[in-house]
């Protein structure tokens, strides 16, 4: 009995370790390593003769290639299942692997090594940045959902047969993905795969923002690029949990998206009274923690400066080092890849830094992570609902016109891939 318990614990530990190993590689340049690792002994199954997968390659001679190639689906091990992929989103974080190297004005259809492909030139100035992956075929796709069509012999794996599951771990732009059963979260009976497609990256990130807020002793949030899919989720989550949120957007249309959801403090950074409005909203909410998707330029500095002025409005203590209120902005995205410029008058009670989901989850631990995932499934049609502007096939991903569309990262435009189409 004790042995059995031990074994179960070991399995969980291995699964968690594998999970972190996989998410670590989410969008990793060195996914090459994972690719090598996944080249384990193959058990080619004749069950899936038409299985296909997408590869992304930056060649030594300066080409960016997305190719669709046959996939020999390995036989699942005891604790594994085979998921037929039916819904895989294209996230901004996926584009780093898919198209970051490509000069998109040069995309064209070609046949590469007998496989259909989308080829683009890599600007010579960009080539050095992709040295680490040069010549290596990489799989891509952070998260997705599909139906379990084959399973290993364990009870846990068998129990998932026929179920629609939501999964994460890279290499999702495939017709079939082999996964540890432990890492598949089943959707309720009858729910379509589409509802489970985007239940990891954005939903876990916004929950992570609130974890961080609580762990670091803040009581309200500021968010930039706040009308994004992720921003809308954060708005709904904050409304539900009673966390005051100050949302920064760049247009009237974006503002309307968030006020329609029910948000009160939506500030437009393109208006001339931006700072006044921001200070007033921060004074009212007491937000001292910001999450910034922009990164470059002065936005983080504007937020910290406004927090400082809001602290004065709220009657905070001041020293020669500024207010003694701890003010923090985390940069979690790089819509602007330029320098981050922080004003000199911030005092010494502030911090700016990067925020990433993977190390956050490692710190939160496996148990809290499973809790968060369960919540994403529960709220898949509520807080964590995603809208898609179009649904495309694996072959569509290498269509020049369609690729130009999904590469644009426009607010509110999110493309869903159905590899089984």
- The residues binding its own copies (CB under 8 A) are 24-30, 93, 96-97, 100, 132, 295-296, 301, 317-321, 324, 326, 328, 331-332, 334, 336-356, 359
User: Taking the CB of residue 331, how many other CB atoms lie within 10 A of it?
Assistant: 22
Closest approach of its own copies to the CB of residue 65, in Å = 18
Q: First and final CA of the chain: distance in angstroms?
A: 47
> How far is the C-alpha of 414 from the C-alpha of 33, rounded, in Å?
29
User: Which of 233, 270, 229 shows the shortest CA–CA distance to 248?
Assistant: 270
Question: Where does 146-251 have alpha helices with state H?
Answer: 155-158, 201-215, 229-241
> How far is the C-alpha of 20 from the C-alpha of 362, rounded, in Å?
7
Q: Which is nearer to its own copies, 168 or 392 (CB)?
A: 168
Closest approach of its own copies to the CB of residue 130, in Å = 10
| DSSP assigned state of 175 | S
CB-based burial label for 374 (10 Å; 0-12, 13-18, 19+): exposed
Q: Which is nearer to its own copies, 70 or 343 (CB)?
A: 343
> How far is the C-alpha of 375 from the C-alpha of 216, rounded, in Å?
22
- Tokens 């819509």 sit at which residue? 335
Closest approach of its own copies to the CB of residue 407, in Å = 16
CB–CB of 81/179 below 8 Å?
Answer: yes
Q: Which is nearer to its own copies, 210 or 342 (CB)?
A: 342
Cβ-Cβ contacts under 8 Å for 70 (sequence gap 6 or more): 51, 52
Closest approach of its own copies to the CB of residue 95, in Å = 10
Closest approach of its own copies to the CB of residue 360, in Å = 11
Closest approach of its own copies to the CB of residue 317, in Å = 7
Q: Which is nearer to its own copies, 28 or 234 (CB)?
A: 28
Q: Which is nearer to its own copies, 318 or 375 (CB)?
A: 318
Q: Which is nearer to its own copies, 176 or 360 (CB)?
A: 360
């Amino acid at each position: 009995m004790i042995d059995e318990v031990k074994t179960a614990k070991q399995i969980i530990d291995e699964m968690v370790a594998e999970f972190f190993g996989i998410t670590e590689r989410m969008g990793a340049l060195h996914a090459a390593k994972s690719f090598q690792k996944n080249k384990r002994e193959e058990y080619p199954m004749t069950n899936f003769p038409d299985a296909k997968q997408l590869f992304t390659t930056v060649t030594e001679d300066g080409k960016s290639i997305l190719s669709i190639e046959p996939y020999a689906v390995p036989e699942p091990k005891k604790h594994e299942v085979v998921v037929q992929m039916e819904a895989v989103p294209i996230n901004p974080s996926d584009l780093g692997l898919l198209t970051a190297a490509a000069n998109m004005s040069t995309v064209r259809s070609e046949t590469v090594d007998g496989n259909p492909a989308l080829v683009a030139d890599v600007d010579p100035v960009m080539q050095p940045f992709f040295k680490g992956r040069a010549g290596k075929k990489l799989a891509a796709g952070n998260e997705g959902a599909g139906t379990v069509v084959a399973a290993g012999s364990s009870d846990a794996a068998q129990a998932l047969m026929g179920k629609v599951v939501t999964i994460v771990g890279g290499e999702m732009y495939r017709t079939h993905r082999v996964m540890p059963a432990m890492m598949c979260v089943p959707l309720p009976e009858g729910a379509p795969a589409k509802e489970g497609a985007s239940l990891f990256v954005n939903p876990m990130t916004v929950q992570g923002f609130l974890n961080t807020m609580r762990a670091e002793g803040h009581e309200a949030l500021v968010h930039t690029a706040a009308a994004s899919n992720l921003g809308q989720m954060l708005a709904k989550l904050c409304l539900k949990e009673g966390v005051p949120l100050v949302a920064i957007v760049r247009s009237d249309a974006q503002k309307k998206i968030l006020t329609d959801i029910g948000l009160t403090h939506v500030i437009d950074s393109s208006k001339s009274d931006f700072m006044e409005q921001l200070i007033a909203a921060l004074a009212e909410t007491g937000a001292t923690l910001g999450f910034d998707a922009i990164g470059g330029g002065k936005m983080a500095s504007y937020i910290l400066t406004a927090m400082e002025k809001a602290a004065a409005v709220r009657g905070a203590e001041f020293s020669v080092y500024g207010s003694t209120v701890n003010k923090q902005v985390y940069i979690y995205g790089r819509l602007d890849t330029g320098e981050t410029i922080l004003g000199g008058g911030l005092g010494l009670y502030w911090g700016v830094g990067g925020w990433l989901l993977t190390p956050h989850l490692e710190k939160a631990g496996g148990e809290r992570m499973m809790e968060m995932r369960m919540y994403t499934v529960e709220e898949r049609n509520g807080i964590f609902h995603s809208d898609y502007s179009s649904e495309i096939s694996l072959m569509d991903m290498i269509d020049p016109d369609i690729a130009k569309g999904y590469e644009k990262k426009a607010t509110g435009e999110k493309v869903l891939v159905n590899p089984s189409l």
